[in-house]
Amino acid sequence: MNDDAALTMVSLCKSFGRPAVDRLDLSVRRGELYALLGPNGAGKTTTLRMVAGLLAPDAGSIAVLGIDLAADPAGAKRKMAYLPDEPMLYAKLKPTEYLEFVAGLWGIDAAEAEPRARRLLDWLDLGKHAHELTEGFSRGMKQKLALAGALIHEPELLILDEPLTGLDAAAARQVKDLLLAHVDGGGTVILTTHILEVAERLAQRIGIIQHGRLIAQGTLEELRGQTQGGTLEEVFLQLTGQP
Amino acid sequence: MIAPAGSALWLLRHEVKLFLYGAGFGGRRGTGKRRSNKLNILVWLAAAALLHGFAFAIVAGVERHGAPPQQLIMVATGILAAALPMMLSSGLKASVEVLFTRGDLDLLLSSPLPSRSIFTVRLAGITVGIAGVYLFFLSPLAHVGLVLGQFHWLAIYPGVLSMAAVTAALAMLLTLGLVRLLGVRRTRVVAQVLGALSGALLFLVSQLYSTTLRGLTDRAANWLAPLLAPGAPLGPDSMLWLPGHALLGAPGPLLLLSLASLAAFLLTVHFTHGFFVHGVQQAVSAVRATQAPAGGMRFDFGRSLARTVMVKEWRLIARDPQLISQVLLQLLYLLPMCALLFVKGPDSLPGLASALAFLCASLTASLAWIIISAEDAPDLLLAAPCSQRTIQRAKLAAVALPPLLVVALPLLWIALRHPLAGMLASLVVTAAVASAALIVLWCGRPSARSDFKVRAKGNFFSNLLETLNAAAWAGFGFLLLSSIDSMARAMPLLLGAAGAFAAALLMLLVAWLARTRAG
């Protein structure tokens, strides 16, 4: 087991009739922002859902910050947060109540949770909406609130599935800043995105997955070296064999 | 006839198609529906054949007596009067559905179709929807009449459609009026409650009659007799019986009723079309301005996991008046029975305990569906590092406590009158609540809260077990409490109670064996 790894997957397999993830080996270093890219149906979301403990792998193993997910799921979950593309919110709860609920699930002490909640809501410009039900929120506000929920327990590993989908420029900027701040603070981020520009600008390393397998991995320069070069979009299309 | 795409007739066909899908003739929701669709059609066809048989007997019988007698006209008017609140109920539900729930107005209003046509077709769709059920039951009379050469029975079609048009117009006016007064959110709740109450009105009145007013019947008949005599205000020539005359084919009344309903329909379209296009859209888009509480953000961290989950569940329900109204309206039909048993006193203790057990089991099943099956963010709970069993127990507690609180006072009342009966009734009610919650926990399927009204369609098996469970505990409670003060019949009653208890346990066992969720 690599002590430097925030996330390690070994021969990970998951099938829904046909293989969705097929003997995937992947390692993400601590303090790294890692972008997992791939065409639609490549197995990105399935991979992240297995890491978050929402899906059980058919075979293989996952370790989160050195903790085997299968052996100690609670221990592993305590150190990470998962944010899917559709925010996991309750329409009839206010942001303050949502954060109370999430903090309760993660067992955060009130003395720690309250200042964090205030800081996060203010940071994400949700403070003035703290007394409103989330059912009236825009897509961006919902995504930011879900992000606040994901960060309330200060996870070391942050897993995000398409975190910028549907966000306006200002909200996307806020989320990106927050992710970079998380990494600067020593945390690790693994995200999937279809916006290749985001991966190009934010990610230190990029993995490309297709048919459930990692077909390429490295920094942008390393990926360029494996192809005829160009932008990440061109590299991505060459590697995945798409026109 | 093929209506050109984009015409009002084409849109009406689309509306009717949606109505038929709603009635179970469509291929909705995934695989396996084609077969059940065919099954639905077969059931409807069999029922229609049966109704035609009844209709033949009625038409042949009536025709032997010549022209419709006054009594038949009064009965026909009475049927229409009784159907009116139920038609209004359907109309209110349909108005809310087509205005807010179906969610296709933006698409339609952004199309080149004239908005007046859209509104007219929408109202016509509601009319057809309301009339459909009544025509299904009454049209066999018209068909048989046609075959037997008694063409006046054909008046059932325009008669029912006219009544449906009037109630559709009334329902739409009421709904739009409520939107103007209360806004969209409250309108949905109020319209739903009004719809359910008007639908239940007939039942509640019949209950009231059978329980308290039966003795007044003779006095009422004596009082009404002079008013119904020829020449009197409510005599055979009174306008009151006009709908009955129309339904039975009298040309003048039928024409009058048809013209009046057409006028009501067209006037509704004329006067409310503008509000429909702009007002409703504005009301739907309106963001409620809320005032920030003084003192900024307030938090209440530090609850235990179980309390955190329970508070969250109760908050979600308490803030959803539409859901609350749907849950409580399911129980509306039980209230007259409970009230009656309270009034009757100690003799009715077994019946009261039985009714409370049934009521609690039904309420628990509904709450369990909302809290367990319709969890909004299951992935959030699964991704949390806490015990799923603790969450499940907290949810079960959140389900069980409200029904037990609701019946705490009636149970106390029983206990004060008869301590042993009170204790047994409390045990039966608690067991009924626990069983109902466990059945949903084991057999429930993940669903969206918005599907509450159609939850039975989504999981027939679970719904069947819930109903049988409620009935078994109600039967057990009745037989057990009946045996207390009846030494002579104690043994057979206790044997019956044991049978009901075994049936209740069997339901639990079946649910446990068929459980779809990990325990």
pLDDT of residue A9 exceeding 90:
yes
Q: Are B379 and A88 within 8 A, CB to CB?
A: yes
Best mutation target, B31, B188, B189, B301, to test chain A (most A CBs within 10 A): B301
Contact criterion met (CB below 8 Å) for B123 and B269: yes
Q: pTM of the entire structure?
A: 0.75
Contact criterion met (CB below 8 Å) for B300 and B306: no
Chain B, nearest residue to A69 by Cα = B385
Nearest to B68 by CA among B244, B254, B258, B252: B244
Look at residue B66 in the predicted model and tell me its pLDDT: 64
At residue B322's C-alpha, the angle toward residues B317 and B324, to 5°, is: 45
Chain A touched by B297 (CB under 8 Å): yes
Q: Are B382 and A117 within 8 A, CB to CB?
A: no
Tokens 């800043």 sit at which residue?
A: A177
Which residues in chain B land under pLDDT 50? 28-34, 518-519
> Which tokens belong to A52?
């978050």
CA torsion, ordered B318, B319, B320, B325, to nearest 10 deg:
40
Chain B, residues 325-384, CB within 8 A of chain A, namely: 376-377, 379-384
Q: Where are the alpha helices (DSSP H) in chain A?
A: 44-51, 73-78, 95-105, 110-123, 139-151, 169-184, 196-202, 220-226, 232-240
B313: closest CA of chain A, how far (Å): 10
Look at residue B453 in the predicted model and tell me its pLDDT: 77
A176-229 pLDDT per residue, tens: 998 999 999 999 999 999 888 889 889 999 999 999 999 999 998 999 888 887
Look at residue B157 in the predicted model and tell me its pLDDT: 93
Residues from chain A contacting residue B290 (CB–CB below 8 Å): 131-132
Who among A74, A99, A117 is closest to B385 (CB)? Answer: A74
Q: Which helix (H) or strand (E) holds B94?
A: helix B70-96
Backbone angles phi, psi at B402, to 5 degrees: -60, -45
Chain A, nearest residue to B286 by Cα = A136
Chain A touched by B306 (CB under 8 Å): no
Contact criterion met (CB below 8 Å) for B468 and B506: no
Alpha carbon distance A191, A33 (integer Å): 8
Alpha carbon distance B495, B42 (integer Å): 41
Alpha carbon distance A26, B143 (integer Å): 73
Chain B touched by A169 (CB under 8 Å): no
Q: Are B302 and A109 within 8 A, CB to CB?
A: yes
A24-45 pLDDT per residue, tens: 999 999 999 999 999 999 999 9
A105 Cβ neighbours under 8 A, 6+ residues apart: B305, B308, B380, B381, B384, B385, B386
Look at residue B240 in the predicted model and tell me its pLDDT: 82
Which strands sit side by side in the sheet containing A59-64, from one edge to the other? A18-29, A5-16, A59-64, A67-68
Q: Are A97 and B384 within 8 A, CB to CB?
A: no
Q: How many Cα neighbours within 13 Å face the side chain of B202?
A: 14
Who among A106, A117, A132 is closest to B299 (CB)? Answer: A117
A118-131 pLDDT per residue, tens: 999 998 889 999 98
* Residue contacts between A and B (CB atoms, under 8 Å): 111
A242: closest CA of chain B, how far (Å): 32
B407 Cβ neighbours under 8 A, 6+ residues apart: B356, B359, B360, B429
Contact criterion met (CB below 8 Å) for A158 and A179: yes
Alpha carbon distance B407, B361 (integer Å): 11
Q: Are B384 and A89 within 8 A, CB to CB?
A: no
B304: closest CA of chain A, how far (Å): 7
Rg of chain A, C-alpha, whole Å: 18
Q: Are A110 and B320 within 8 A, CB to CB?
A: no
Q: Are A82 and B377 within 8 A, CB to CB?
A: no
Q: How many Cα neighbours within 13 Å face the side chain of A185?
A: 14
A241: closest CA of chain B, how far (Å): 34
Q: Are B385 and A101 within 8 A, CB to CB?
A: no
Chain B touched by A125 (CB under 8 Å): no
Amino acid at B307: R
Backbone angles phi, psi at A33, to 5 degrees: -105, 110
Nearest to B352 by CA among B408, B405, B410: B410
Look at residue B284 in the predicted model and tell me its pLDDT: 64
A224: closest CA of chain B, how far (Å): 36
Chain A, nearest residue to B309 by Cα = A101
Best mutation target, A105, A109, A123, to test chain B (most B CBs within 10 A): A105
Look at residue B37 in the predicted model and tell me its pLDDT: 65
Look at residue B32 in the predicted model and tell me its pLDDT: 45
First-to-last CA distance in chain B?
57
Look at residue B216 in the predicted model and tell me its pLDDT: 63
Nearest to A146 by CA among A89, A228, A190: A89
Contact criterion met (CB below 8 Å) for B477 and B354: yes
Who among A91, A131, A149 is closest to B293 (CB)? Answer: A131
Length of chain A: 243
Who among A75, A90, A113 is closest to B316 (CB)? Answer: A90
Determine if residue B12 is left, alpha or beta; phi over 0 gives left, psi from -120 to 50 gives alpha, anything else beta: alpha
At residue B322's C-alpha, the angle toward residues B341 and B27, to 5°, is: 105
Nearest to B501 by CA among B466, B474, B465, B461: B474
3-state SS, B110-149, equals CCCCCHHHHHHHHHHHHHHHHHHHHHHHHHHHHHHHHHCC
Alpha carbon distance B102, B95 (integer Å): 10
Look at residue B167 in the predicted model and tell me its pLDDT: 94
A237: closest CA of chain B, how far (Å): 32
Chain A, residues 1-30, CB within 8 A of chain B, namely: none
Chain A touched by B392 (CB under 8 Å): no
Look at residue A207 in the predicted model and tell me its pLDDT: 95
Is residue B389 exposed (0-12), middle (13-18) or buried (19+ Cβ within 10 Å)? exposed
Task: Specify the 3-state DSSP secondary structure of A6.
Answer: strand
Nearest to B439 by CA among B486, B405, B473, B411: B473
Alpha carbon distance B210, B204 (integer Å): 10
Contact criterion met (CB below 8 Å) for B104 and B180: no
Residues from chain A contacting residue B288 (CB–CB below 8 Å): 136
Best mutation target, B285, B288, B297, to test chain A (most A CBs within 10 A): B297
Residue A15, beta-bridge partner list:
A19
